[in-house]
Every structure is written in C-alpha cells, then in structure tokens.
Amino acid sequence: MATHTPDADYMEIRTETLKGKQWFKQVGWRHIVGFAGIAYAVFPLLYVLSTSLKPNATLTGSNNLFSVIKPDNFVALFDTGFGTWAINSLVISTATAVGTVLMGGAAAYAFSRFRFSGRRPALTALLIIQMFPQMLAVVAIFLLLLSLREVFPFLGANNQIGLICIYLGGALGVNTFLLYGFFNTVPTEIDEAAKIDGASHAQIFWTIILRLVTPILAVVGLLSFVGTYGEFIIARTILSQQSKMTLAVGLYQWASDERNAPWGLFAAGAVLAAIPIIVLFMFLQKYIVSGLTAGSVKG
C-alpha cells in the first residue's frame, strides 16, 4: 500500500496549476513588469536604429520608425574618421582592461595572502580614494600632462599613452576590493602545497591563482573595458587631434551642433559602437554572475 510522505504532498501542492486571480498575484504581475521593463529599454534602441537607416535624418523627422530603410549612413561612415576613432577606442579600452586586471590582481593577491604593517589602512585608503571620481581632478591631470610632455613627450597631453596611464591610475580601489574578496575564497592550502613543491610566489600567482579566479578577472576586465570605452570627460580634455580621438569624443563632435548635426551618421555610429560591448558581454556572460557573487562568500 502506497503512502504519501510530506515531501510528496508538498510537491503535489507546488505543481498544482494556478488559475485566475491566484495566478496573477503570484506569477502574472511579474510578466507585466518584465514586458514593461523590456519595452522601456528597447524603444530608445529602436529609435536609434530607425534613425541610422534613414538618409538625411533629423530629430523631428525620425518619429516615424522605419519609414525608410537604407544603408546610406553606414556606407557614409567609411568616408569619415569613424574607423580611426573606433580603433583608438578599442586599443585604449583593451590596454586599460588588461592593465587593470594585472594591477588589480597583483594588489589583491598581496592583500589576500600577505600580512604586513598597514594592510588594513591601505585597503581603507583605496576604498576612500575611489569614492572621488577621476573627473574631479581633470584640471590637475591636464596640467600634470603638460609638464610631463617636456620630459616624456609620449606621456604628454594629446597622447593616447598618457590617457591610458590616467585610466590605469584609477584602476585600483573598487576593482581591488572585488578581486580581494574573490581571492579570499581560494583556500590557502593550495599555496602551501605549491610552496612545498618548490613554487615561488610568482609561480603560484601566475600559474595557479589566476586560473582559479578567472571569473572575477573577466568581470573586472569587462567593467574596465566598458567604462573606458564610453568615458568622455577626461578623453575630451586630453585628446584634441582628430586622428587620436576616441569614439565618445568623435561622436560628440557630430552631435554638438544642434542645428546642423548629422543625426543619421551619429545614430549609425552609435549602433556600430555598441557591437563590441554586446559581443564582449555575450562572450563573458558565463563568468559575470559567478564572478560578482563568489567574492561575497568569504571576506
């Protein structure tokens, strides 16, 4: 004779089909909120895409979505400096992301594995410093680059290497805390076993630890890439030559003239500029959730 266990009764209740008001209270309202959020996020994207496909588009004349579909604006982009700006942005963002991962990883490894005087105050200082964005010091940074140009021309104003160094100057702080929390989840017994086998700290860091913390490295690299890719204020202040501008600065020049701005070109450039970010998110999406949550398990 079959008997019903409490677990079986619980599963039977959970699998019971919800209907009417009960379904709406527990499930239905979530669908409505989800569809509203999707519509709110997708509509501006559709507007930009429609404008990019309309030749000689204007702000007021772009209200009729997809009334004209022609690739003229995308073709015209090749006759502008858009390609150069895109390459500059990709190079600067990639270099900054790689440098941020390496610098933040080295700092987090030191804070996580070593015990030295001033360790806690240094972590606190990094966090406090990052509460003030770099843009607050943009005037001081610009004057500093003007002075450095006399000694090191490649680090002066209107130079991409100097801009990368500025971005790397703000690479620590929050990124170090993210990496630090994740590094703490890696058991120290692994380090001790490697030391017994004769491995040095450098070998442990490069061959063991970095492989175990790949998810958080991907997240930090992604956040750094996206933040640098769309950064405008510092790049606009440092870079003035057309051939050295980034996408954010170059596209701003097109949109700065409200009466004669080529909105069709601007929209087409915005659509193409979003592709690297989308591809990067799709490629690294398997690391994003684990990289952001695992570091909170052990502080």
pLDDT at 98 > cutoff 90:
yes
Are residues 186 and 284 located together in one domain of the fold?
Answer: yes
112 in the same domain as 55: no
Residues of the chain above pLDDT 70, percent: 88
Indicate if the pLDDT at residue 136 is higher than 80: yes
- 179: Cβ–Cβ under 8 A, 6 or more apart, which residues? 104, 105, 107, 108, 213, 216, 217, 220, 295
Statement to judge: residues 52 and 139 lie in one domain: no
The span from the CA of 187 to the CA of 212, in Å, is 10
64 and 93 share one domain: no
pTM of the complete model: 0.82
Q: Pick from 135-149, 228-242, 253-267, 283-297 the range whose average pLDDT is largest.
A: 228-242
Amino acid identity, position 21: K
What pLDDT is attached to residue 297? 47
Last residue of some domain: 46, 70, 94?
70
- The reported pLDDT for the residue numbered 177 is 81
For residues 192 and 52, state if they share a domain: no
Measured distance CA(112)–CA(213) in Å, rounded? 13
Q: Please count the helices (runs of H) and the strands (runs of E) in the chain.
A: 16, 0
Question: How many domains would you assign to the chain?
Answer: 2
Alpha-carbon distance of 40 to 254, in angstroms, equals 26
Q: Is residue 143 part of a domain?
A: yes
Query: Residues, the chain, total?
Result: 299
Distance CA 153, CA 145 (A): 9
Closest CA to 299 of 178, 205, 122: 178
Core vs surface per residue 167-176: b (16+ CB within 10 A) or e? bbebbbbbbb
Please count the other Cβ atoms lying within 10 Å of the Cβ belonging to residue 221.
Answer: 24
Q: Is residue 156 part of a domain?
A: yes
- Show the domain range for 215: 81-296
Residue 71 tokens read as: 């690739």
Burial 55-85 (b: 16+ CB within 10 A, else e): eebeeeebeeeeeeeeebbbeebeeeebebb
Tell whether the model's pLDDT for residue 224 goes beyond 60.
yes
Out of 16-20, 131-135, 224-228, pick the least confident: 16-20
Q: Report the candidate in 123, 113, 99 with the shortest Cα–Cα distance to residue 201.
A: 113
Residues 211 and 242 in one domain: yes
Q: Does 19 fall in a domain? A: no
In order, the DSSP letters of 10-40 are HHHHHTSPP-HHHHIIIIIHHHHHHHHHHHH
pLDDT given for residue 60 in this prediction: 63
138-164: per-residue pLDDT in tens?
Answer: 888 888 888 888 888 778 778 889 899
Coil, helix or strand for 97?
helix
